[in-house]
Amino acid sequence: MELHTMTAGELASMLEKGEISSVDAVKSCLDHIAARDQAVGAFLTVLAEQALQAAEQSDTRRREGRALSLWDGVPIAIKDNLALQGVRNTCGSKMLEHYIAPYDAHVVTKLKQAGMPILGKTNMDEFAMGSSTEFSALQVTRNPWDVERVPGGSSGGSAACVAAGEAPWALGSDTGGSVREPASFCGLVGIKPTYGRVSRYGLVAFASSLDQVGTFSRTVSDGAALLSAIAGSDAKDSTSIPDAGPDYASAVRRGVQGLRVGVLDGWEQDTVLPSVAASMQEATAALKRAGAEVTTVSLNLLDKAIETYYLIAMAEASSNLARYDGVRYGLRVDGTDAADMFRRTRSEGFGQEVKRRILLGTYVLSAGYYDAYYKKAQQVRTLIRSQFAQMFNDVDVLLTPTTAATAFRFGEKQDPLQMYQTDYYTVPANLAGLPAMSLPFGRCEAGLPIGLQLTAGALQEPVMLQAAGVLEQVEQDRRGSYGAV
């Protein structure tokens, strides 16, 4: 029995029935990590001893009838920008390569309270700045579907480990598509909740008004269940929403009868692969057959979203990353004086992409340019949020591609602007603080998975999951299971 190939829901059911132990499930994942991860490179830190110890404790609880949750004993992986007490928290950067987190992130506390053994911490673009995980300073992560291609980013390690069968599910973070894009490239379900639905406490900041913890899973039901497990208010995060929300898993099989689905006017004229366009058309037809009302909608500011997002994100990154100065924690490179130490530390500790974003962010915040760039971007952001709100008066959920193409080859996008354009469909949801998710629907000519994106109004994750459940059923009927396992 290959437990590592099973979904979190299947493992939970078997654990509840006593058919397997948590130790069995964790050992299966660890064995597969040992066998596969040298080729994939998903994990930066594997916590074999800790995971097995947590699994043993879970098995004891279940024998005594004290299970902490339905998911007690189901293993999970987390992105390496989420604090886990006593474990490296590198953010994929030399700046924090040897930094040990002194506390747990709120979502990690929630995982522990649910009894989930943590298998390890996964690779990522440095400080979550990237769309391919090519900007990790520590190692290369490859797409399990084709190891010559990127897994997407910045949460590429979390996506790759789930797609490769090394973990049944994982946590990542999404600032402009960093959960949804790797989910699309790796054939997974990736959910970014409403801003504030999940606490950011213990998530290393990139752009604080955009960052959100998200989920990777092989099924929509698993993603919904994991979202329920980590959602909720947190006194340590003033932006967290007091209400934890409903039981998201119950929405998945609710159907879409009467649901109003919006499709962007003229999206076919965008630069998308023919196979992606075909998947969009098939998905639209499937939703219509299931009883949804499909209508055309317009978001004329969508073409301004990339510029708006990168101005705001880089400005916030410049501010947030100022704390890495060689004084308090992280890397320190000594110099002739304090200024030289500061310069050497940041020069050697940060990679090229992070430096680029810090420089651009500092520029747009500087005197004489603040009004022209940063302030203007915030004004456009407000307009984008307003357009979404108006659109969701007419429709319940928006259907778009997640990305215009499937996973690309390493080194294919050398031009930073070309790389940034891969976020075209994903950044609007972050700017507006809306829930959005990617799920696999179809394959391209090369056999790689295609991801479609669903976006809903604020706090309307259940509506988004309704549509996702219908599309997932269509895909499972023709493809079978998700992932590259």
Task: Return the active site residues.
Answer: 79, 154, 178
- Concatenating the DSSP letter of every residue in 429-482 gives HHHHT--EEEEEEEE-TTS-EEEEEEEESTT-HHHHHHHHHHHHHHHHHHH-S-
Which residue in 234, 250, 233 sits closest to 242, CA to CA?
Answer: 233
Which residue in 404, 407, 396, 406 sits closest to 454, CA to CA?
Answer: 396
The C-alpha R_g of the chain, in whole angstroms, comes to 21
The conformation of residue 81, written as its DSSP 8-state character, comes to T
- 454 φ/ψ sector (left φ>0, alpha ψ -120 to 50, else beta): beta
Q: Which amino acid is at 386?
A: S
Q: Are 391 and 297 in contact (CB under 8 A)?
A: yes
Q: Rounded to 10 degrees, what is the CA torsion of 253, 256, 261, 267?
A: 60
Distance CA 99, CA 333 (A): 15
Residues 322, 325, 327: CA angle, nearest 5 degrees: 135
